[in-house]
Structure 1
Amino acid sequence: MNEISASIILIIVLFTLLGGGVWVGLTLAGVAWFGMDFFSSRAAGDAMAITIWGSSSSWTLTALPLFIWMGEILYRTNLSENLFRGLAPWVNRLPGRLLHTNVLGCAIFASVCGSSAATCVTVGRMNLPELRRRGYPDAQIIGSLGGPATLGLLIPPSIILIVYGVAAETSIAKLFIAGVIPGVLLALLFSGWIAGWALLHPDRVPESAGGLSFVQKLRESRQLIPVVLLILGVIASIYSGIATATESAAIGVLGAFLLSAWQKTLTWQSFRDSLLGATRLYCMIALILSGAAFMTLSMGYIGLPRELAEFVGSLNLSPGMLIIVLSLFYILLGCFLDGISTIVLTMGVVLPIIQAAGIDPLWFGIFLVITVETAQITPPVGFNLFVLQSMTRKEITYLGRVCAPYFGLMALLLVILWYFPWLATWLPSHM
């Protein structure tokens, strides 16, 4: 049986299991087992055990539960209210008002953890209850969180940029610097969309709490000092070389505990609730990651990603058409695999293709990460959608619909980067 027939059968199995209500992580593992058992000579049982253990015991992955725990601790303090008190005076006059705090919060936290899932969880834990309490529409609250949370993949430090840098033998430091301008531009596009929606639907935006003078705004912003100090501490520990991402996450947890104790909100009950909440959420995420890792291995043995990449290379396209085809290819592949897996599986074939076409690998790395970002909010396996589902209890179809405008904005940024490549290459060239 050829690869096309195998891919069609696997897609049918995937949607059948998802439609039957099977957990996403178990669905991915089930499809992987089916594919490996029927379409490859590799024994599925021991491969599944080794892969799941390897993915779940990764040292790098330990940063994720720690950042989730940090968010749970902050959620149980009054820092979420302080965040609004500090940001609200500055965004309250903008169309869309406090919805912009989702974008700002995601941009700030993305610079700390480098994970879109951790960004979505932490900012969502703080912002979702506050925005709902103030009467903002659920669709706009969730959409303005799910889309901007993908900034965790682009704004440094980014785990996926590290993976690409290793695979493409490109300077990771330059990749980090290259992601700054596109990351800021993407955040501005997100805020611009929120403002445009608010101007078209002024009746659906809650009334402003009233204007403040500049001095009063500064006074209210004092409430941001604890959060800012915590973020600066985590960032400084990474960029100074004192700590790795995992160790900086531990610093973040310790800092969150100290802030909680300072605010007198640290009790045995809050400690227990934060730990259990982080454990439940991480177990859900870890199950999906384990299933995705096994599915990645299975598809590698079947040869689907490599066959697709080699097919693209055989078309002999112009650089512009090649970028379009690769974008569609990665978006399609990202509907079923996590971003890191797609890069690891295909980079060996794709990198020579883009180099032969005269495309700068540094620029392509940023372009690729933005493309992978779109897959985080693309059904059926959009990872951020599942994180949002765990927090909101909404259907995947609903979440995909409210996040769709942000998918379009990321596609727009890809077009802008193609016509203005210096947005990604200017800063690294001046290092």
Structure 2
Amino acid sequence: MDPLLLGALVALSTIFVLFSGVSVAVGLLIVSAGFLMIFDGMRSLELMPEILFGKLDNFALLSIPMFIIMGSSIASTRAGADLYEALERWLTRVPGGLVISNLGACALFAAMSGSSPATCAAIGKMGIPEMRKRGYPDGVAAGSIAAGGTLGILIPPSVTMIVYGIATETSIGRLFLAGVIPGLLLVVLFMAWSLYSTWKSGDASLLTAGSYTWREKLEILPRVLPFLGIILGVLYAMYGGIATPSETAAVGALLCLIIAMVIYKLWAPSALWNVLRDSTKESVMILFIIAAAGVFSYMLSSLFITQAIAEWIGTLDVNRWVLMGTVNVFLLIAGFFLPPVAVILMAAPILLPIITTAGFDPIWFAVVLTINMEIGLISPPVGLNLYVINGIAPDISLKTILMGSLPFVACMVVAIVLLCLFPGLATWLPDAVMGPTF
């Protein structure tokens, strides 16, 4: 059978299996085993266990459970509420300070936890009721938190960036640095839209709030500065050549647990057990998907599907930006239905040779891909962050939350366009810190 036709058959079969309700990892294994058995013979199945476990034989993978423990220990405390309160007290006299506080808290908490749902839950529980109490539109209140939560997969340390780095054999340190400026760009765009939307509502009183004494501003800082110090320390150790990502993640996880125990009195064995249990579940899920995606990639390569697609793309006489636009549409659609980790592991090995052949930087592409995945987190039908916000504020309809998040989707599209026009937004910092690649 023609490899391109076979590739289309694999794509349709994968979509059908994943929509049947099985987990992503199991679905990928079912599709891989079925096509290998039919088109490559039963003997090819003997290699599946070796490939499955061999994909996990990577020291860099140790950073994933460590960063997840780091985020889980933060999410299990009042760190999110304290971070929100600290920013509110310091920014209260700034025009639009409350919405800026919420988005700033989302960005910082997302960087600490690396989890979009955890960010929405932690900041939303405090921020949404407060914004609604002061008269902010429900759409702005809910949409800003839903969008702010997506920053967790872009601002370092990011688990999805680690997964992309492993899947494409790209420097994880460079990927982390590449997400910094685009992440800050998104924060600025989100803040700009929120302020404009609030101003457009016609109530100028929403743009200012009360005041706090210097004592009230300073007394909250000891609760949040240690966590921020850990994030900065982890990044410094990584980029200063002191330790590898896996080593710094392990130290960061230990320090976050210690601070959670000392500052937030997380001494109860049941609370610590919940942190480790939830972290283990999430880590196993991600690692299982990584292993299954390795088998899936082997199947595509063994049946010459990957090579045929890359060769076919290379023969197309189309502008490379038309090609990139097509790739973005594909990523958007995939992100509507699948979690970011699954999309990255399934698509990156196929798309990487295509985008590099077209002359695009794989580091830059990682940022574009991640922003596409962020859009999927606040877009139906899956839109995980939308349902988290609806659970926090059930009296705000899902339609209102969705309509409130759509302008932030537009902000993300603007960010992708700016990255296309100015690729240095993603590549300048990695080159400046770690030196240019040749």
| TM-score, reference length from structure 2 | 0.73
Q: 1:34 to 1:389 in 2, by over 3 A?
A: farther
Aligned partner of 1:293: which letter? G
2:370 matched residue in structure 1 = 373
Q: 1:19 to 1:222 in 2, by over 3 A?
A: same
CA contact (8 A) 1:146 1:403 kept: no
3-state SS in 2 of match to 1:17: helix
1:414 matched residue in structure 2 = 416
CA contact (8 A) 2:173 2:239 kept: no
Name stretches of at least 5 consecutive residues in structure 2 with no aligned partner. 133-137, 392-397
- How far is the alpha carbon of 1:373 from its aligned partner? 1.0
Q: 1:39 to 1:108 in 2, by over 3 A?
A: same
CA contact (8 A) 1:29 1:291 kept: yes
- What is the rounded CA distance, in whole Å, between the counterparts of 1:44 and 1:303 in structure 2? 14
- What is the rounded CA distance, in whole Å, between the counterparts of 1:391 and 1:301 in structure 2? 41
Structure 1 window deviating more from structure 2 (413-422 vs 150-159): it is: 150-159
Q: 1:242 to 1:420 in 2, by over 3 A?
A: closer
CA contact (8 A) 1:163 1:344 kept: no
3-state SS in 1 of match to 2:21: coil
Q: Deviations for 1:26-60, whole angstroms, at most 9, x for unmatched residues?
A: 22222222333334457453333223212344321
Q: What pairs with 1:212-361 in structure 2 (closer than 5 Å)?
A: 212=212, 216-263=216-263, 264-328=265-329, 338-339=343-344, 342-348=347-353, 350-354=355-359
Number of residue pairs matched by the alignment: 407
CA contact (8 A) 1:154 1:370 kept: no
Aligned partner of 1:411: which letter? V
3-state SS in 1 of match to 2:67: helix
2:81 is the alignment partner of 1:78: no
1:140 matched residue in structure 2 = 143
Structure 1 window deviating more from structure 2 (330-339 vs 300-309): it is: 330-339
3-state SS in 2 of match to 1:235: helix
- How far is the alpha carbon of 1:326 from its aligned partner? 4.8
- What is the rounded CA distance, in whole Å, between the counterparts of 1:293 and 1:202 in structure 2? 54
Structure 1 window deviating more from structure 2 (320-329 vs 369-378): it is: 320-329
- How far is the alpha carbon of 1:285 from its aligned partner? 2.6
Q: Deviations for 1:260-305, whole angstroms, at most 9, x for unmatched residues?
A: 2322322222211211121222233333333333222222223333
- How far is the alpha carbon of 1:219 from its aligned partner? 4.5
- What is the rounded CA distance, in whole Å, between the counterparts of 1:290 and 1:209 in structure 2? 51
Q: 1:5 to 1:33 in 2, by over 3 A?
A: same
Percentage of matched positions with identical amino acids: 21
Q: 1:140 to 1:292 in 2, by over 3 A?
A: farther
Instruction: Give the counterpart of 2:123 among 127, 130, 136.
Output: 127
**Root mean square deviation, CA, Å:** 4.4
- How far is the alpha carbon of 1:255 from its aligned partner? 0.9
Aligned partner of 2:151: which letter? P
Structure 1 window deviating more from structure 2 (15-24 vs 154-163): it is: 154-163
Q: 1:157 to 1:311 in 2, by over 3 A?
A: closer
Instruction: Give the counterpart of 1:108 among 86, 107, 111.
Output: 111
Q: 1:131 to 1:45 in 2, by over 3 A?
A: farther
Q: What pairs with 1:82-93 in structure 2 (closer than 5 Å)?
A: 82-90=82-90, 93=96
1:20 matched residue in structure 2 = 20
3-state SS in 1 of match to 2:210: coil
3-state SS in 1 of match to 2:154: helix
- What is the rounded CA distance, in whole Å, between the counterparts of 1:5 and 1:400 in structure 2? 38
CA contact (8 A) 1:74 1:256 kept: yes
Q: 1:411 to 1:8 in 2, by over 3 A?
A: same
CA contact (8 A) 2:297 2:349 kept: no
- What is the rounded CA distance, in whole Å, between the counterparts of 1:174 and 1:226 in structure 2? 25
- What is the rounded CA distance, in whole Å, between the counterparts of 1:142 and 1:55 in structure 2? 36
Q: 1:39 to 1:129 in 2, by over 3 A?
A: farther
1:67 matched residue in structure 2 = 67
- How far is the alpha carbon of 1:100 from its aligned partner? 0.7
CA contact (8 A) 1:305 1:346 kept: no
